[in-house]
Amino acid sequence: MSISRLQNEQTPRVVQSYGIDSLVDTSLHVVDVREFFYRKGRGSRPTWKQVQHFPAAPETESGTGILSNADFNRLYGQRASAIRNLLVNKNFCRLEKSEKCLLTWRFRNMTVEDFDVGLGSKANSDIFRSLEILLWQPMPTGDGVDRFIKSLESTSEDVVQSIYRITDHEYWFRQGINIIAIRFDDVPSPELLSLIDHKLQVIQQEKMQNYFHIISTFNADSEVWMNEKNRSGRFFEIIEHLLMYTWRPFDMKTCEVSIDAAGDEGLIASGTLCIDFAENGAASTRFDMMDRRFNAAGSQTIEFVVNEVSLRAANLSGESSFLSMHMVSRSPGNVDPRGNILTHRFVKLFIESVGKLIDVIMPVIRREEALNNLRWRYFLDSTRLRALEYGEDLHLIVSDSLDILRRLFGIKGVLVFSEDEELANMLRLFSRGDAKPHNYRMLDGPLTPEEILRKQVLVFPVREIQNGRVLLYFDLPGFGPKPSNPEQPDQYLMGTDLWTGVNEEAAVLNLSETKDFLFFLVTECLTANPKAVVANVNRRLPVRGDVVDIDIFLKLCHRILQRFSRFFDLFQTLSGNLESGLAYLRGRRDNLTGLYNRQHFKDMLNNLFLQPGSKLGLIFIDMDNFKIFNDAVSHDFGDRLLRSLAQRLIESTEFFKFQSVPGRFGGDEFCYFIDKIEPEDFEQKAADVFLHITGVPLDVDFFIEDRTEHERMEINLISFLHRLMRPDIGSRQASKNEYVEPPNTRPKAHVVRIWKYLRRQRLGEEETSGVTVQAEQIISDISATIEDKILYNQIFPEIDEQFSRIIRLFIAFQMKNCTTNVIRDHLISEVGSLSIQRNISLKVSAGLAHSSENRLRSMESLFKAADNRAYLAKQNGRNCMFGLEGHKIT
C-alpha cells in the first residue's frame, strides 16, 4: 500500500452528502459507483443504460451515447446541425475537440416528459427517443451477471436477495429498475456489504419521504379546495401522482388502491384507482366508483396486498374509512416485505398522506353543495336501480338512459355504433319486441370526421366495453345562429349550449379565438372519464403545433368539464348500466349465439313445468353435420353455422307468433320450448319450426385466392379439399388414432401415402405391398373418396360437374408436386374467378316431448325424452324429427 494511501486512511473524512455519490465515502475500499437502469429482455438478453458514475467521470467511460457528425446526419438529415447545436446549448450534449458529441449525464437521467429543446412536443419526443435508444446496450456476460439475470426471472417463493456478487471485487445492489454497481479494491466483508445495502435503503427512504412531503404540502391549501368544483376528481389525481412514484423503485407493473370512504368522505374519496405501467414507465389509469377488496397475493415475491387499513380515526358517527392496496412488480423481490422494507415504508407514508389529504378537504365542503350532490347521486342511483330492473334487456337500458338525456339536455336523436358484435346483436334482438318508436338508430360503421361535421352531432364513446368501441352520436338542440358552413371545424356545433358554453368560458380566460378546439376536443379527446379528457388534451394538443398557450386551453378544458359535469355523470351512469346489463346478459346468454345458455334455459323451463296444468312442448335439436365443418373447414366456420341456426330459431319465434323460447344446450345441441300449447298442436308447430330451420340452404362463398376469412359464410377451397383428403377427417369409420400426417412431405408423396393407406384399409396389408399403379388411378380413387365424404356428411345435396372437376384438378396438381400457390393460380384460371358459390344444407335431427305425457314427472325427464327422440332421428338417417309417440314427423 502506498504512503499516500496510508495517509488517506489516517485522515478522517466528513461525509456531508446523502445521495448515491456518498457511497464513495462509505469505505476507502470503494473504487467507484455506477448507477444503471435495466430492462428485461424479450427472448434476448436484458439491456441497461448507465445514468451516473461516481466519482465524477467523463461520459466516454459509459461506452454509449457517443455520436459523430455522420450519426447526426443519419438520424436527422438536413436538420442535423441545428439539432446538434440545440442539444449542446441545452447541455444535453457536449462537443469534444474530435468533433464527437457525448450525451451528458444530465440527459441520461432524463425522462421524455422532462426533455425539451423548444421544437414542440412531438419533435421533442422523437429526438429524445432517437438519442435515448443509443444509450441502451446488452448486459455484459459472465457467471455473476448470468446469476443476476436468472434471479430476475425467478418464480421461487424464497426471499429474493438484493445484493449480487458479480466478481470478487464487484457487487450489484438492485432497487426496482435501478442497479447500483460498486467496485472495491479488495474483497469486501459481509459487514461492509450490509452497511451499503442499509445506506441505499436509507437514501431511497429519504427520497420517498421528501416526495410525499412535497405532494402533501402543495395540496394542503384549503382556499384552493374551496374553489375546486370537482373535488373527487382532484383527490384521485393526487392519489395517482403518489402511485406513479412506485414504478422506478419497485419496477411496478400494476398498482391498485381502493378506498371505502365513510359518511361524507364518500363524496370525494370513494372508489378504486388502478394504474398499469408499461415497461418504459408509461402509465394508463382506470377508475371505478365502487370500492373493492383484493385477493391475497398469488406470489409473495412479486405481489403485495393489504386490505381494509383504517385511514383515520372514526368520525362522530363511529364510521371509519378504509383503504385497500394491491402492488404487482415485474420481477421478484421488489415488493416482497421479507426482503424489501421499503414496501412497508411506502404503504405507511401513502396511508398517512391520504388521511391528511382527506383532513384538508372535508372542512371546506359546504353543506348545501353536499346536499345537492347527494340529491344528484340519488337520482343517478335510481337510474341504476331502474336499469337493474331491466336485467338483460339492453334495448330498454339504452332507451331509458337516452330518454333521461333527452329530457334534461334536449337531445333530439341518437345514432349508435358498436364494435362489440354481442352488444349490437342484443340491441337489435331486444328492440324487435318494442312497438314504440325507437329513440336511437344503429349504424353499420362509425362516422368519419367529415360526416360528424356535416351532420353536426356530438360523438361520445362509451367506456370499458370489452369487445370494442361503442360510440353514441347526439343531435343537440340549437338555440342560436346556425353554422353557415357546417363543414368548417371552427363552426362545429354552433348554436348549441355546448358551443355557447365553450365561448363563454373562453371569454373568462381572455381567450379571443378558440379555432376548432371544440371539434378537436370532441373527436379526438372526449371520453366518459373527465380526467382522461384532460390527459388526452394535454397529450394531443401540443402535437397540433398551432396553439401558442397550451395552458390556457387546458384551463378551458377543465372549465368545460366542470360546467357539463352532470352530463358526464349521466353518461358514466349509462356506461355503467350498459356494463351491468352486459354482465347480467353474459351470465344468462350464450356468448356465441345470443340464445339463453343451458342453466338459465333449464331454470326457465323448470319454473313453467312446475306450474299446475302446464302445457309445455320441448324440441331438442342436434346439428347433424357439425363436426365435419369443424374438422374440414375451421372452428370459426363451425361457429358461424351455430350462429346461423340460432338466428333461424330466433326468427321462428317472431315469425310464428307463439310463446316460445330458444336456447343453446351445449356444443351443437339446441333446445326450443313452446308454452301454452296442446299436444295435438305441438307437433304441427314443431314441424313448422323444423322446416324454417332446414328449408333454405346457406349461401357459401368458396374462395380460391389467399385471403383472411370474414364474418360471412366463406370457406377456403384449397384448405377444405386438403383436409377432406385426410383419412381421419369425415370418413365413415374412425381412423384418427391410426393415421398421422407426416410433416414437410412433398405433395405427391403425401397423396400417394394417403392412397396406399386407404387401399390398405380396404384390401389389407398383403394386397397393398409392392403394388404399382398409374397416377390417374390414384387421382380417381382419392377424388371419389372426397366426393363420398361430401355426400356422406351431407355437405352438399349433390356434387356438380364443375366441383367434381375442381377436386380432380386439385389432386392432379398435387401429383405433379405443385405448391399451393401454383395450384391456386391453376384453379383460378380453370374457374375463371376468385371464388365459386355453392349452397350448404343445414341439417338437424330433432326430438319432441310434451309436459302432458303421463310418464314425464320432472323437467329432467322431459329433457331426456326429447333427447332420446332426437337420437332416434339421427339413427334414422339424420335430418328428421321424431314426434311424441316415437314416430317420424318430417
| pLDDT of res. 1 | 35
Q: CA-CA distance, 97 to 862, in Å (whole number)? A: 93
pLDDT confidence of residue 4:
36
pLDDT of 466 higher than 50: yes
The reply to whether omega before 489 is within 30° of 0 (cis) is no
pLDDT(736) > 60? no
CB proximity list for 552: less than 8 A, separation 6 or greater: 509, 511
Burial class (CB in 10 A: 0-12, 13-18, 19+), 544: middle
Helix intervals (H) in 53-140:
69-76, 80-89, 105-108, 121-132
pLDDT at res. 8: 43
What is the rounded average pLDDT of the residues 400-410? 85
| Band of residue 332 on the pLDDT scale cut at 50, 70, 90 | confident
| pLDDT score of 621 | 92
Pairwise pLDDT comparison (613 vs 685), residue with the higher score: 685
User: Residue 594: pLDDT above 70?
Assistant: yes
The per-residue pLDDT for 710 is 61
Which pLDDT score, from 0 to 100, does residue 620 have? Answer: 92
* Among 250, 256, 305, CA closest to 281: 250
Residues 6+ apart with CB under 8 A from 546: 515
Q: Is the pLDDT of residue 734 over 60?
A: no
Residue 505 carries which side chain, given as an amino acid letter?
E
Dihedral sign from CA coordinates of 847, 848, 849, 855? negative
More confident residue, 158 or 756: 756
Q: Tell me which of 299-303, 677-681, 815-819 is least confident.
A: 299-303
Weakest mean pLDDT among 24-33, 271-280, 638-647:
24-33
Note whether 328 and 255 are within 8 A (CB). Answer: yes
CA distance linking residue 414 with residue 404, whole number of Å: 13
Q: Would you give the distance in Å from CA 438 to the centre of its chain? A: 32
pLDDT at 16: 46
- Say how far apart CA 434 and CA 399 lie, in whole Å: 11
Cα separation, 667 vs 598, in Å, equals 10
**596 forms bridges with which residues in the sheet?**
589, 663
Average pLDDT over every residue of 317-327: 84
Q: Calculate Rg over the CA atoms of the chain.
A: 36
Average pLDDT for residues 324-339, to the nearest whole number? 84
Q: Categorize the per-residue pLDDT at 257 as very low, low, confident or very high, splitting at 50, 70 and 90.
A: very high
What whole-number distance in Å separates Cα of residue 50 and Cα of residue 180? 10
DSSP string, 379-418: HHHHHHHHHHHHTT-HHHHHHHHHHHHHHHH---EEEEEE
pLDDT of 325 reads 92
pLDDT of residue 385: 87
**pLDDT higher than threshold 50 for residue 9:** no
Residue 117: DSSP 8-state: -
Are 536 and 524 in contact, with CB atoms under 8 Å apart? yes
Q: Quick: pLDDT tens for 344-356.
A: 889 999 998 998 8
How sure is the predictor about 17, in pLDDT bands with cuts at 50, 70 and 90? low
pLDDT at 730 over 70: yes
- Work out the end-to-end distance of the chain between its first and last CA atoms, rounded to an integer number of angstroms: 105
Gap between the Cα atoms of 525 and 533, Å rounded: 5
Q: Which cell is 196 given?
A: 451499503
Sign for the CA dihedral angle at 283, 288, 294, 298 comes to: negative
Q: What is the DSSP letter of 589?
A: B
Q: Is the pLDDT confidence value at 368 over 60?
A: no
Choose from 9-23, 532-546, 711-725 the range with maximum mean pLDDT: 711-725
Better pLDDT: 238 or 28: 238
pLDDT at 778 over 70: yes
Average pLDDT value over all residues in the chain? 83
Own/partner contacts of 598-602, CB < 8 Å, gap of 24 or more, are: 598/663, 598/664, 598/665, 598/666, 600/663, 601/661, 601/663, 601/664, 601/665, 601/671, 602/859, 602/863
pLDDT at 11: 45
pLDDT value at position 711? 61
Q: pLDDT per residue over 446-461, tens digit each?
A: 999 899 988 898 888 8
Query: DSSP class of residue 485?
Result: S
Q: What is the mean pLDDT of residues 168-186?
A: 88
- For residue 60, give the amino acid letter: T
pLDDT of residue 856: 75
Answer yes or no: are the C-beta atoms of 170 and 181 closer than 8 Å: yes
pLDDT tier at 764, thresholds 50, 70, 90: low
Question: Cβ distance 154 to 301 under 8 Å?
Answer: yes
- Split at pLDDT 50, 70, 90, the class of 323 is very high
pLDDT at 159 (0 to 100) = 54
Judge contact between 198 and 341, C-beta under 8 A: no
How confident is residue 671, by pLDDT bands cut at 50, 70 and 90?
A: very high
Q: Which is higher by pLDDT, 4 or 390? A: 390
Burial class (CB in 10 A: 0-12, 13-18, 19+), 10: exposed
Share of the chain above pLDDT 90, in %: 3
Q: Is the pLDDT of residue 646 over 60?
A: yes
Cβ atoms of 725 and 684 within 8 Å: the answer is no
CA neighbor of 470 nearest in space, from 415, 547, 515: 415
CB 718 within 8 A of CB 824: yes
Q: Is the CB of residue 455 less than 8 Å from the CB of residue 447?
A: yes
Instruction: Inform me whether the pLDDT recorded for 623 exceeds 60.
Output: yes
Which of 408-417, 566-575, 765-774, 778-787 has the lowest average pLDDT? 765-774
DSSP secondary structure letters along 205-255: HHHHHHHHHHHHHHT--HHHHHH-S-HHHHHHHHHHHHHHTTHHHHTEEEE
- For residue 256, the model assigns a pLDDT of 93
Q: Residue type at 91?
A: N
Amino acid 197: pLDDT: 86
